[in-house]
Amino acid sequence: MDNQLYDFGMVGLGVMGRNLLLNVADHGFKAIGFDKDPQKTSSFETAATAGTTVKGVNTLEEMVHQLSTPRRIMILVPAGKPVDDVIESLLPLIDKGDIIIDGGNTYYTDTLRRYQYLQPKGIQFIGIGVSGGEEGARTGPSMMPGGDKTAWEHLRPILESIAAKVNGDPCVDYMGKGAAGHFVKMVHNGIEYAIMQLICEVYDLLHRGGGLNNDELHKIFASWNEAELKSYLIEITADIFRQKDDIGNGFLVDSILDKAGSKGTGKWTSQIAMDMGVAIPTIDMAVTMRNLSALKQEREKAEHLYGSRSFSQAPFASEVNSLTTDTRKALYTAIILSYVQGMAMLYTASQELEMEIPLHNAVKVWRGGCIIRSTLLETFYSAYKHNPQTSNLLLDETIASLVKDNIGSLRKVAALAATNGFPAGGLMNALTYFDAYSTGRLPLNLLQAQRDYFGAHTYERIDKTGKFHTQWV
């Protein structure tokens, strides 16, 4: 057996596990990976950069015995029972003080359960949300570790070295206690859902409504990516519009079926927000639109029944310049409001679930390497540095100024979509969130009266403290 001691171990050498481990090796750490499949361990070694120290093994015993202590072992296998199975297989082989890391797409309550299970055994546990996909894993992801803080300090030199960098700052930092890392990653994915949906709605208005072709859309989105909307999702959208179809004719985007897939993380965000009593309507609508997109045959029947809105002429073609300006401002505002909703959810989780999430760390690590990276995150980072306990970013004066400057365009575009039958629920729900949050008195006084009328649920008054009930006429 090799007497070499390795710095970092990986269980699972699929694409993500292999790429992350190669990244570790590229930064001067000795990396060892386990996989049952000899072909994967062999291809891992073959893919390593010359001069790095890597090894692939096909038993957990080989890997564990060749790791320096405290052992740092990351698991990257499918979420759920496979993670528990790996943990149980590792326990007889490792010692107190060793560190197990779950880097998969794990539901946060599973992470919390594992953390609580391993803590009495003296095993340190960290759940890390990893964003950036296969390429990010290899060249620099955004990482969101949460759990045992002592374990984070042991992992910190490696994770900071392999993370994406923004202005020299690594896009990784401690996210908080327990399952905070996977919770932050889940909310990241919810925000991702919302922004993607908003971009799709703006595309629909410009394409079907304004009559713009793919070349024109490419130029518009590319120009947007040079200004305040600069972000990864705007950048790749611009690229998508110029991709020719390598199987059929024309542009590829026009040949793609309008049924959106999902891995469930957006749904998790919505479900948990409901449980926590946090309003995230733009994220909720993004999940709903994916569900509606799956009803392709029903939607086609309904279109035939109610009349097609596939316009023979683009209804906004004569005012496409103003439409382009307004959709840019509307998209910018709605994206701000999507981040606002996600961060409000993290604030509540930090308090109610006792995760103690440093909110500035979340936006800091999202600035590079992840799917929702955007120049806007610098503004949010500054807001949290100024006031770390901000419960809602709409209360920050700088962000309030940005919203006030652009909210008129969001109103105009949402109204235009509603009047002309464009499904733009993301834009509309972003606007509703803003209007409700910035309204001092909502009409839910009537709702409270209704609840008391039919169910004696009581109500509160504006002029007296306490709970009241009325025998309604």
Handedness of CA 460, 464, 467, 471 (dihedral sign): negative
189 is in an annotated binding site: yes
182 is in an annotated binding site: no
The count of other CB atoms within 10 Å of the CB of residue 55 is 21
**Annotated catalytic sites, by residue?**
185, 192
Long-range contacts of 295-298 (CB under 8 A, 24+ apart): 296/257, 296/258, 296/259
How far is Cα 29 from Cα 24, in angstroms, rounded to an integer?
6
In the chain, what is the straight-line distance between the N-terminal and C-terminal CA atoms, in Å?
Answer: 86
457 is in an annotated binding site: yes
Structure tokens that stand for 408 in this block: 């008129």
How far is Cα 163 from Cα 281, in angstroms, rounded to an integer?
32
Distances (CA, A) of 284 to 46, 74, 247, 367, 438: 44, 32, 35, 24, 20
193 is in an annotated binding site: yes
DSSP assignments along 414-434, one per residue = HHHHHHHT---HHHHHHHHHH
188 is in an annotated binding site: yes
384 is in an annotated binding site: no
Neighbouring residues of 297: CB distance < 8 A, sequence distance ≥ 6? none
- Asked if 290 and 266 touch (Cβ cutoff 8 Å), the reply is yes
The count of other CB atoms within 10 Å of the CB of residue 109 is 14
How far is Cα 378 from Cα 374, in angstroms, rounded to an integer?
8
How far is Cα 145 from Cα 130, in angstroms, rounded to an integer?
9
How far is Cα 58 from Cα 114, in angstroms, rounded to an integer?
25
Q: Pairing state of beta strands 54-57 and 31-34?
A: parallel
How far is Cα 219 from Cα 408, in angstroms, rounded to an integer?
25
290 is in an annotated binding site: yes
- Asked if 365 and 171 touch (Cβ cutoff 8 Å), the reply is yes
The count of other CB atoms within 10 Å of the CB of residue 292 is 16
451 is in an annotated binding site: yes
How far is Cα 108 from Cα 146, in angstroms, rounded to an integer?
10
Tell me the helix, strand and coil percentages in the chain, rounded to 5: 55, 10, 35
Q: Would you list which residues are annotated within the binding site for substrate?
A: 105, 131-133, 188-189, 193, 263, 290, 451, 457
Q: Would you list which residues are annotated within the binding site?
A: 105, 131-133, 188-189, 193, 263, 290, 451, 457
